[in-house]
Chains A and B, each alone.
Chain A
Amino acid sequence: MADNIKVMKEKDISKVTRRAKTGGVVAKVLTYAFLVFMAIVVLFPFYWMINSSLKSIEEYRMSTPTFWPQHVMWSNYSEAFRVANLGRLFLNTVIVGVVSTILSLIITVLSAFAFARLQFKGKNILFAGLLATMMIPGELFTITNYGTVNDLGWMNTYTVLIVPFLVSVFYIYLLRQNFLQIPNELYLAAKVDGTSDIKYLWKVMIPLSLPTIISITILKMMGAWNSYIWPRLVANDDLHKLITNGLRGTAFLDEAGETNYPAQMAAVALVSLPLFLVFVFLRKYIIRGVSRSGIKG
């Protein structure tokens, strides 16, 4: 009886493992097929963007598309620069991105330091209040801010693109958490040595939380690069327009009112290129930031 059971067990086990093995191979193949297919779906728009950006307008319009341009038209890129005034748009975006990132970092570091290291009345209530504002959709602020910046006479300036978004509660929160991990003894020791707060921040806190600061910098720069709604509302003149706004305007219409799509695709590729470079070289910092936030830009 016992022998019988043992035999049956061995039989079953071998059957199960055999089934698992063949099932395993099939499953592996299906897994890879699915993943590779999805990877192609993810990558295809990028390929199509580059393919389209290098075609002549006649070739672009062919109802049976070519998968690589018959004549590679690099001139679409210079055309994009010319008609859409891309140079100016790039410059504006870089100015706004760099200035707002630097100012925002200073404000974030000082606030995070105060919340992480200093004792003051109402600290917890203030911090909770700040976190609560994160729940409110940004559109709710925009309505009033539009009037405020108008009253301040900031319309169509760089200021209007920079100042209203300098404080990010989320970044303050992120950096505060990081600062809290640095032992308080270091701060007290620095105080005994007579080191000033700013020097301590600069020499100890910032170097130790550099990864978080880099994450914040990248996300803030990407935010400037991708912002669309607010800039369109408050700074839509040629001198201050930002890059995303230039893409969906009327710049690519020719005299006959037809859109020059290849040039438009070239502009799209030019806008995507810096983001792509950031992605290739600084991916891990972006992932570190977004896996804690769920906020795009």
Chain B
Amino acid sequence: MVDNKQQWKAWLYLSPAIILLLVFTVWPIINTVRMAFLDGYKGLEAAGGATFSFGVQNFVKVVKYQKFLQCLGNTALMCVLTVPISTLLALFIAVCLNSIKALQKPLQTIFFLPYVTNTIAIGMVFAAMFNIVGSFIGTQNELISNAGIINNIITFFGGSNVNWINTGSSYAANIAVMVVYIVWNALPFKILILLGGLQSVNKQYYEAAKVDGTSRARTFWRITVPLLSPMIAYVVITGFIGGFKEYSSVIGIFGQSMGPANDAGRLNTMVGFIYDALSSNNQGRASAAALILFGIILVVTLINLYVSKKRVHY
């Protein structure tokens, strides 16, 4: 009897969660797959009574679409650049933080600060640091598009001004800005995880290395990195997953045009492509792209897991 009562109660307590999940999670999974495999599916036409035939045309169209390939390329490029850079940088910072005593806590606090920020808001600050739009020297008419504090620092060290994000800027410069911002944003989480890992490492390994007179570099690559490998694998995998979903950071830097004013959409990403398709009522195309994104994330994660299985020492 008690058992039955528990059953009844359990489902009662779970009912709000289950109802919401059925509507907003389970049904979308089914429906997205359905729409992706209905050729040229459009929500408005479907509401008007149009029928669509089953097929893989959405996928074929998306993959052949130049814009999609550009979005895929941008996303993959940002991922491939930012994940290793942020992981290595976070690793060095974590190792350094772990090796000091004075100032450790305040520095740790500072390094965590970017985590608690609004991606779009701080992206706008980065945009202002790289290039002030419409700045002038002296008079209102002398508009220049490559002023900004970063350029001042570059010229201070003898370099020349770069047009980072304004009209006429190069793709490489755009990507460089994105990489800097994404790495800045990604550091806190990675430092947090890696430092946590370091603090639980057994000190005996280091004492043994010291007795053997092992060099610092060798200690780092032969002891620290292998011992931390589970955490490194974790931040790399979550980094790739997050990286393939990059979107807000581009909005933060470039605004809704997703690129410099003369080339809107140049830095569009996979997620951006899905939303564009959705806004233009191409649900079939959006669903196909979302499934492709899911597939890519799945494959990249599996590759990561496979590699880490061979390399990670538990």
Q: Which residues of A contact B (CB under 8 A)?
A: 16, 20, 23, 27-28, 31-32, 34-36, 38-39, 41-46, 48-49, 52, 60-65, 106-108, 110-111, 113-115, 118-121, 123, 126, 130, 133, 135-148, 163-167, 169, 172, 197, 222, 225-226, 228-229, 233, 244, 247-248, 258-259, 261, 264-265, 268, 271-272, 275-276, 278-279, 283, 286-287, 290-291, 294, 296
Contact B129–A48 (Cβ < 8 Å): yes
What separation, in Å, do the CA atoms of A215 and B193 have in the docked complex?
17
Q: How far is the CB of A282 from chain B (nearest CB, A)?
A: 9
Q: How far is the CB of B134 from chain A (nearest CB, A)?
A: 6
Contact for A229 among B135, B238, B248, CB less than 8 A:
B248
What separation, in Å, do the CA atoms of A233 and B291 have in the docked complex?
20
Contact B192–A290 (Cβ < 8 Å): yes
Contact for B251 among A31, A35, A62, A248, CB less than 8 A:
A248
Contact B17–A111 (Cβ < 8 Å): yes
What separation, in Å, do the CA atoms of A182 and B136 have in the docked complex?
65
Contact B7–A294 (Cβ < 8 Å): no
Contact B256–A248 (Cβ < 8 Å): yes
Residues of B in contact, count (CB < 8 Å)? 97
Q: Which of B104-112, B169-177, B305-313 is the contact stretch? A: B104-112
Contact A265–B125 (Cβ < 8 Å): yes
16 contacts between A and B (CB under 8 A): A16-B213, A31-B96, A44-B129, A45-B184, A63-B135, A65-B148, A65-B149, A106-B16, A119-B6, A139-B274, A143-B286, A148-B24, A148-B27, A268-B125, A271-B121, A272-B122
Q: How far is the CB of B71 from chain A (nearest CB, A)?
A: 12
Q: Does B229 sit within 8 A of A, measured CB to CB?
A: no
SS class of chain A's interface: helix, strand, loop or mixed?
helix
Contact B118–A244 (Cβ < 8 Å): yes
Q: A44's closest neighbor in chain B, by CB?
A: B129
Further 17 A-B residue pairs, CB within 8 A, beyond A143-B32, A143-B290:
A16-B213, A27-B216, A31-B99, A43-B110, A45-B126, A45-B129, A64-B152, A133-B25, A135-B298, A145-B24, A163-B20, A164-B24, A167-B21, A197-B9, A261-B128, A275-B117, A275-B118
Q: How far is the CB of B87 from chain A (nearest CB, A)?
A: 13
Contact B118–A226 (Cβ < 8 Å): yes
Q: Which residues of B contact A279 (CB under 8 A)?
A: 112-113, 116
Query: Given A41-B184, A121-B7, A167-B20 in contact, is the A141-B92 Cβ separation under 8 Å?
Result: no
Contact A110–B17 (Cβ < 8 Å): yes
What separation, in Å, do the CA atoms of A129 and B216 have in the docked complex?
47
Q: Which residues of B contact A (CB under 8 A)?
A: 3, 6-7, 9-11, 13-14, 16-17, 20-21, 23-29, 31-32, 35, 43, 89, 92-93, 96-97, 99-100, 103, 107, 109-122, 124-126, 128-129, 132-137, 144, 147-149, 152, 184, 187, 189, 192-193, 196, 210, 213, 216, 234-235, 238, 242, 244-245, 247-248, 251-252, 255-256, 271, 274-275, 278-279, 283, 286-287, 290-291, 293-294, 297-298
What separation, in Å, do the CA atoms of A247 and B252 have in the docked complex?
9
Q: Which residues of A contact B93 (CB under 8 A)?
A: 34-35, 38
Q: Which residues of B contact A169 (CB under 8 A)?
A: 21
Contact for B28 among A20, A43, A144, CB less than 8 A:
A144
Contact A142–B113 (Cβ < 8 Å): no
Query: Given A62-B135, A244-B118, A279-B116 in contact, is the A118-B9 Cβ separation under 8 Å?
Result: yes
Contact A34–B92 (Cβ < 8 Å): yes
Contact B111–A272 (Cβ < 8 Å): no
Contact A172–B115 (Cβ < 8 Å): no
Contact B110–A42 (Cβ < 8 Å): yes
Q: Which residues of A contact B112 (CB under 8 A)?
A: 279, 283, 287
What separation, in Å, do the CA atoms of A271 and B120 have in the docked complex?
10
